[in-house]
């Protein structure tokens, strides 16, 4: 049996074992590991001095309840994110036989026994998200060569960026991660992106969005690869490949909130994904197609989060596929009318 390391050493080694994962996954698990350390510290365990043998057999259950106490029952997304990191750590320990007192299967069952039932509440999007995009497109632009050139570029960028978010339903990390070559400077109607979990998928752009992208790129006088960048004077250190000037996901989130307020509606970046999925479903797309378009790993995710059809759509399905008791009786047990 391998020598039992300190918890700190085991956590560092577990983090190193994630080298093959995406950068976003490594950051997320790193944050989860730090939160797990906070829990252990409050529980009287020193990660620097105590070995993995000090971990209690029900530590995963206790960590879950600690997270619920800290964040509240409704913050299931935050809690599940931190729990994913803790489960990953326990799997690493089990895989390397570093914590024999903990049965991973039993630990997961303990968590399931106390878990808060995750009742998804569909977002109540106020107003029409298209109004937000139209509002940004209607902002007056300074004439070329007049006024602040950076203001003109920011407005053109925001038009293209918000239109892209609305059109594709991509996650905000995916939107700001686009490069100019992905969309051919606004001439490619399809792009292959790497989304959550390092999975590749194809996303599609409509003509209106591509026109916004072309106008924005044509107005730029740089050759930085990122599609959406900051425009505040000349950058002193653009970084390799212009990565230091790439717009952040937080900046996209802030832009959506800013234009939403100006348009008089409430909206977040994730509302665009809900809006896109609901629109596709209500217009006839099936769950599998929406799953692929939005990059969900499981169709269950799509069904759980997005299958809130309009009443009219449900009414149409009810009248199309339902039968009365008399009709069912006449049809017989196998759905065929009796001779």
Exactly one of 154, 220, 270, 303 is catalytic; which is it?
A: 270
Mark whether 246 is an active-site residue. Answer: no
* Rounded Cα gap, residues 77 and 225, in angstroms: 33
- Are 71 and 98 in contact by the 8 Å Cβ rule? The answer is no
Exactly one of 21, 154, 196, 303 is catalytic; which is it?
A: 196
CB atoms within 10 A of CB 265: 17
DSSP 8-class letter at 191:
E
- Are 257 and 268 in contact by the 8 Å Cβ rule? The answer is yes
* Rounded Cα gap, residues 224 and 240, in angstroms: 9
Mark whether 296 is an active-site residue. Answer: yes
Whole-angstrom Cα Rg for the chain: 25
* Rounded Cα gap, residues 280 and 274, in angstroms: 10
CB atoms within 10 A of CB 272: 26
Tell me which residue of 277, 273, 224 sits closest to 252, measured CA to CA: 273
Q: Say how many CA atoms lie within 13 Å of 254 toward its Cβ.
A: 5
Exactly one of 87, 159, 171, 172 is catalytic; which is it?
A: 171
Exactly one of 29, 82, 216, 306 is catalytic; which is it?
A: 306
- Are 225 and 217 in contact by the 8 Å Cβ rule? The answer is no
Mark whether 273 is an active-site residue. Answer: yes
Residue 112 corresponds to which tokens in the numbers above? 């399931």
Exactly one of 157, 180, 273, 276 is catalytic; which is it?
A: 273
Mark whether 306 is an active-site residue. Answer: yes
Sequence-distant (≥ 6) Cβ neighbours of residue 24 within 8 angstroms: 173, 196
Which ranges of 140-286 would DSSP assign to H, the alpha helix?
Answer: 149-168, 172-176, 207-219, 249-263, 269-282
Mark whether 270 is an active-site residue. Answer: yes
Mark whether 91 is an active-site residue. Answer: no
CB atoms within 10 A of CB 2: 7
Q: Is 132 helix (H, G, I), strand (E, B) or coil?
A: helix
* Residues with active-site annotation: 171, 196, 270, 273, 296, 306
């Amino acid at each position: 049996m391998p020598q039992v390391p300190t918890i700190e050493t085991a956590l560092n080694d577990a983090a190193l074992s994630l080298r093959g994962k995406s950068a976003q996954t490594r950051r997320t698990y790193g944050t989860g590991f730090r939160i797990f350390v906070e829990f252990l510290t409050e529980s009287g365990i020193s990660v620097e001095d105590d070995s993995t043998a000090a971990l209690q057999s029900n530590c995963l259950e206790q960590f879950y309840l600690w997270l619920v106490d800290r964040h509240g029952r409704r913050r299931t997304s935050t809690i599940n994110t931190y729990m994913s990191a803790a489960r990953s750590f326990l799997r690493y320990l089990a895989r390397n036989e570093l914590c024999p007192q903990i049965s991973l299967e039993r630990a997961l069952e303990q968590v399931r026994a106390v878990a808060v039932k995750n009742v998804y509440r569909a977002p109540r999007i106020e107003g029409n998200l298209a109004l937000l995009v139209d509002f940004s497109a209607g902002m007056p632009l300074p004439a070329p060569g007049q006024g602040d050139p950076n203001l003109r570029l920011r407005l053109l960028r925001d038009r293209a960026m918000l239109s892209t978010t609305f059109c594709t339903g991509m996650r905000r990390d995916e939107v700001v991660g686009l490069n100019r070559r992905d969309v051919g400077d606004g001439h490619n109607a399809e792009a292959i992106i790497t989304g959550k979990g390092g999975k590749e998928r194809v996303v599609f752009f409509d003509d209106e969005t591509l026109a916004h992208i072309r106008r924005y790129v044509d107005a730029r006088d740089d050759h930085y690869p990122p599609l959406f960048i900051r425009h505040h004077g000349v950058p002193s250190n653009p970084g390799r490949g212009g990565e230091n000037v790439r717009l952040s996901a937080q900046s996209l989130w802030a832009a959506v909130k800013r234009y939403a307020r100006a348009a008089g509606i409430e909206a977040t970046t994730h509302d665009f994904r809900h809006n896109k999925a609901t629109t596709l479903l209500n217009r006839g797309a099936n769950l599998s197609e929406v799953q692929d378009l939005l990059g969900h790993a499981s169709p269950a995710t799509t069904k759980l989060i997005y299958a809130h059809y309009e009443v009219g759509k449900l009414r149409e399905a009810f009248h199309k596929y339902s039968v009365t008791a008399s009709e069912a009786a006449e049809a017989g047990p196998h759905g065929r009318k009796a001779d």
